[in-house]
Amino acid sequence: MMVLVTSLPELPVPPATSTALPRLIATDLDGTLLRDDKTVSPRTLSALAAAEAAGVEVFFVTGRPARWMDVVSEYVHGHGLAICANGAAVVDLHHGARIVDVRPLERPDALRTVRALRLAAPGVTFAVEQSTGIHYEPEYPPFQFDPGASFAPAEELLADDRAGFTIDPVLKLLAHHPDLDPDAFLKLGREVAGSYGQFTRSSPSALLEISGRGVSKASTLARCCARRGILAEEVAAFGDMPNDLEMLDWAGTSYAMANAHAAVLSSTRFTTVSNQDDGVAAVIESYLAA
C-alpha cells in the first residue's frame, strides 16, 4: 500500500494530457531513482509498488550492466525486465539477470573507434563490456573490481581470434581519459568516431560509453513499448545525465532531476526534485493523487 505524504515538494504542473496515469514509467537508476548511497528509499519503494498496483508498468533503463542490477532486481514487478548498458541489453531480473535481447557494438566498429580515439586523444585507455563481463586495458582505471576480467590492449580484446577468449557480444566500449573535460571529450569522440557507434556519457569523469550504431536507451525502450502496444505519449521518463537525453526526448512526458546535468535540465520540459529527495516518487505520487 502506498504511503501518502502530506507535504510533497512543489512540482511543475504536468501537461493536460498527463492527468491520466501513464501506461509505463521509464526511469534511470544512478542519480535518478537511487539515492547517492545506491539504495532505493522506502518512499520510492512504496511509490513503485503503488504504480504497479494501478496498472502502470515500470522499466528500469540504465547504463549499468546486468551484473550490477542486484540493487533493484527485487523491485521489478510484473514483466521483470530492465534495459541495461544504455540499451544494448534487455535483462530478465526475475531469472537471475539473464540477458534476453542483445544489440551489440560490432567489433570492426569498436576497433575503428579505438584507433580514432587513440589518434585524437593521446592517453585514452579502454575497457570492453561484453555480455559475460568486462575486460580492461592494463592502464584503464577499473572502478569496480570484477574477478572475471582480463587485461590486454583493446585491439587484442576486440580481436575475433584471441586464443582462449570467448567471442561474446560487445555491449559497450568504454574510453577513459585522465585529463580532458568530460563534455569536451564527448564532443571530440563524436567528431572523430561518431559514425562508428553511439557516443554518450553518464560519469562525472571523462568516461565515454560507446554502443552500437543507433543503440540508445530510447531506441531499445521504443522497441519494448512497441511490443506492448504502448505509444511514446503514454510513457513518463526520468533521467539526469547525457545518456538519458534521447529517452527523455522520446517519451511523451519527461522529468529531469534537480541534480541533473545542465544539458538535461535545459532540454527537458519538466523538473522534479533531486534523487536524494525522491524526485521520481514525488511525481508518481502526484499522478496517483490526481
The answer to whether domain 16-103+215-289 and domain 107-211 are alike in fold is no
Start-to-end CA distance of the chain, whole Å, equals 17
| pLDDT tops 60 at residue 169 | yes
Give CA angle at 13 (59, 237), nearest 5°.
15
Residue 8: band (very low, low, confident or very high) from pLDDT cuts 50, 70, 90: very low
- Pick the range with the lowest mean pLDDT from 76-85, 176-185, 237-246: 76-85
Tell me the residue ranges of DSSP E strands in the chain.
24-27, 57-61, 81-84, 89-92, 98-102, 125-130, 133-136, 170-176, 198-200, 207-211, 235-239, 253-257, 270-272
- pLDDT score of 150: 85
What integer is the mean pLDDT of 255-267? 97
Residue 192: band (very low, low, confident or very high) from pLDDT cuts 50, 70, 90: very high
- Cβ neighbors of 158 (< 8 A, separation 6 or more) are 107, 110, 111, 114, 128, 170
What is the rounded average pLDDT for all residues in the chain? Answer: 90
Q: Which residue has the cell 579505438?
A: 114
- pLDDT score of 14: 45
- The domain limits of the chain are 16-103+215-289, 107-211
- pLDDT score of 17: 38
Q: Which residue has the cell 533493484?
A: 72
- pLDDT score of 73: 77
- pLDDT score of 76: 75
Fold (CATH) for 16-103+215-289: Rossmann fold (3.40.50)
What integer is the mean pLDDT of 168-197? 97
Residue 284: band (very low, low, confident or very high) from pLDDT cuts 50, 70, 90: very high
Q: Which of 270, 121, 131 is nearest to 208 (CA)?
A: 121
CATH class of 107-211: alpha beta
Q: Encode pLDDT of 124-159 as tens digits.
A: 999 999 988 899 999 998 766 677 788 899 999 998
